[in-house]
Amino acid sequence: MTDARVDLRSDTFTVPDGGMRRAMAEAEVGDDVWGEDPTVRRLEETIAARLGKDAAVYVPSGTMANLCAVAAQTRPGDEVISDFEGHLVVYEVAGGAVVAGVQLRGVDSPGGVPSGAAVEAAVRPPNIHHPRSRLLALENTHNRRGGLAVAADAVAEAAEAAHRHGVLVHCDGARLFNASVALDCPPATLVEHCDTVSVCFSKGLGAPVGSALAGDAGTIEEARRWRKRLGGGMRQAGVIAAAALHALEHNVDRLADDHAHARLLVDLLGDSPGARVLRPAVPTNIVMLETEAPASDVAERAAAEGVLTAVMDRHLLRCMTYLGIDAGAVRRAGGVLRAVLGESAPPS
């Protein structure tokens, strides 16, 4: 094959560059379970400040950050309200149910977060028959809704409705920095009304591993106990925390390039036969295609031409742009996908 492979499956396929590897090699470290890793501490302080929260805890994954947030803010038998397309509902192996003993209540949130009225409708009135509504989980950007960036006022509306009923609010901000860049709004403003927020360093920010959960000091202390309980206490984790610090310093503003590349892919595929391109109100680095043919067939044929995509559902295909995917790669992928989709379209 003459052309290089273009991998659009996920922004988790970033690999650390030379500068990041140097930062990792030079990291000052200690035993973080004992609270003695200076680099992890610096990361926790830095990310808490960036998110406008008191404290943060560094965890191995976004899934663990979300589970710690749920476990630290609920009791078994409580109910957690979430968009039914939310990562927490679809992709976290029911961890909240299995580990924290909570019940998830899915609500439809076409705008990425539920409206204030939808939150009000989902909160259970006090009654001995009901589970206690305890936590509202939001997601920004919203993965399955096409990388939609949700504006601060919509987050505030949902969060304020929850707070009126004593329901806490968590934001799954795995890609909060993408939302921040797309909306030109500081990340702290986007989560101002959220009690806790998780962010991933391992997605578009380009670090090899790691996420953080931020919130008030008491909640984060409880989340730290949960991290240990879940087996997520790490020792000389400064080696990987250094990569996250490097990412925060160098790879946030450049997310705008990924968004431009995603727009380029939408332009290339917008009128393609055989698929409909999802167009979220504020797009970021995700391009979702509703395919007429089975998505797995399209993915397989594109892969044979060196273009890798992710099958999300029977007729839903995802492409993502990230650090290392340049405009040339996107043009090549667009050409291959157009051809494959055209072949797969039923004759009209």
Contact between 157 and ligand PLP by CB under 6 A: the answer reads no
Question: Closest separation between CB of residue 103 and ligand PLP, Å?
Answer: 20
CA distance 170 to 53: 13
The C-alpha R_g of the chain, in whole angstroms, comes to 20
Among 73, 178, 196, 202, binds ligand PLP (CB under 6 A): 202
Question: Closest separation between CB of residue 293 and ligand PLP, Å?
Answer: 26
Contact between 211 and ligand PLP by CB under 6 A: the answer reads yes
* Contact mark string toward ligand PLP, 237..256, x via CB under 6 A: --------------------
- Beta carbon nearer to ligand PLP, 60 or 334: 60
Question: Closest separation between CB of residue 172 and ligand PLP, Å?
Answer: 5
Q: Are strands 307-308 and 6-7 parallel, antiparallel or unpaired?
A: parallel
Contact between 96 and ligand PLP by CB under 6 A: the answer reads no
Contact between 309 and ligand PLP by CB under 6 A: the answer reads no
Which residues are CB-neighbours of 283 under 8 A, at least 6 positions away?
Answer: 146, 147, 148, 149, 182, 259, 262, 263, 266
Question: Closest separation between CB of residue 62 and ligand PLP, Å?
Answer: 2
DSSP 69-84: HHHHH--TTEEEEEET
Among 174, 190, 295, 325, binds ligand PLP (CB under 6 A): 174
Question: Closest separation between CB of residue 198 and ligand PLP, Å?
Answer: 7
Question: Closest separation between CB of residue 79 and ligand PLP, Å?
Answer: 20
- Beta carbon nearer to ligand PLP, 150 or 329: 150
- What the block records as the tokens of 114 is 């539920």
- Beta carbon nearer to ligand PLP, 147 or 334: 147
Which residues are CB-neighbours of 29 under 8 A, at least 6 positions away?
Answer: 37, 38, 39, 236, 237, 238, 239
DSSP letter at 86 equals: S
Question: Closest separation between CB of residue 211 and ligand PLP, Å?
Answer: 5
For ligand PLP, the binding residues in 50-89 under the rule CB under 6 A are 61-63, 66, 87
Q: Please, what's the b/e burial string for 318-345 (b: 16 or more CB within 10 A of its CB; e: otherwise)?
A: bbbbbbebeeebbebbbebbbebbeebe
Question: Closest separation between CB of residue 265 and ligand PLP, Å?
Answer: 19
Among 78, 139, 195, 258, binds ligand PLP (CB under 6 A): 139
Residues in contact with ligand PLP, counted by CB under 6 A, come to a total of 12
Phi, psi of 170 (to 5 degrees): -115, 140
CA terminus-to-terminus distance, the chain: 33
Contact between 200 and ligand PLP by CB under 6 A: the answer reads yes
Contact between 305 and ligand PLP by CB under 6 A: the answer reads no
CA distance 100 to 93: 12
Candidates 151, 129, 125; CA nearest to 140 is 151
Q: Which residue has the tokens 């009901």?
A: 130
CA distance 307 to 34: 45
Q: Can you name the residues that pair with 105 across neighbouring β-strands? A: 81
The residue number with the shortest CB distance to ligand PLP is 62
Question: Closest separation between CB of residue 144 and ligand PLP, Å?
Answer: 8
Contacting residues toward ligand PLP, per CB under 6 A? 61-63, 66, 87, 139, 143, 172, 174, 200, 202, 211
